[in-house]
């Protein structure tokens, strides 16, 4: 059996790393955890909400990893309605807040490349 012991990062394919970095930092409030050159104009960039253990790596999109995908990433918030309103006021593409009995409120957003993420309301 291999010796994997934790989850480090989840890659999100992007077409413009700088534009995506600005979106995740300025619109979503993430912090930059790592930003290093990799050669050929590419960078290894990791962002995350303050205090989060797992990061999102903004990886260059390519034929084998196109941008504009359902990432499967679910982010936590304490107020889905307020976060949705704030993002919408900044012209971020967001869906309606969805509510079902016994299920936390949630909504979908898209980053500048159309990658989809969900924000789910959870008490702190």
What pLDDT tens digit does each residue of the chain (124 aa) get? Answer: 899 889 999 999 999 999 999 999 999 999 999 999 998 889 999 999 999 999 999 999 999 999 999 999 999 999 999 999 999 999 999 999 999 999 999 999 999 999 999 999 998 7
Of the chain, the end-to-end C-alpha distance in Å amounts to 36
58 CB burial (10 A radius; 0-12, 13-18, 19+): buried
Superfamily of domain 9-121: 2,3-Dihydroxybiphenyl 1,2-Dioxygenase, domain 1 (3.10.180.10)
- Give this prediction's pTM: 0.93
């Amino acid at each position: 059996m291999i010796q994997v012991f934790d989850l480090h990062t989840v890659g999100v394919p992007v077409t413009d790393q700088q534009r995506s970095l600005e979106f995740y930092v300025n619109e979503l409030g993430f912090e930059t955890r790592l930003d290093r050159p990799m050669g050929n104009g590419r960078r290894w960039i990791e962002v995350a909400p303050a205090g989060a253990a797992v990061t999102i790596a903004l990886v260059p999109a390519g034929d084998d990893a196109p941008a504009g995908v359902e990432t499967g990433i679910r982010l936590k918030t304490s107020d889905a309605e307020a976060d949705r309103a704030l993002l919408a006021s900044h012209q971020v593409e967001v869906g309606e807040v969805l509510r079902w009995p016994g299920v936390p409120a949630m909504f979908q957003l898209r980053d500048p490349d159309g990658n989809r993420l969900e924000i789910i309301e959870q008490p702190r």
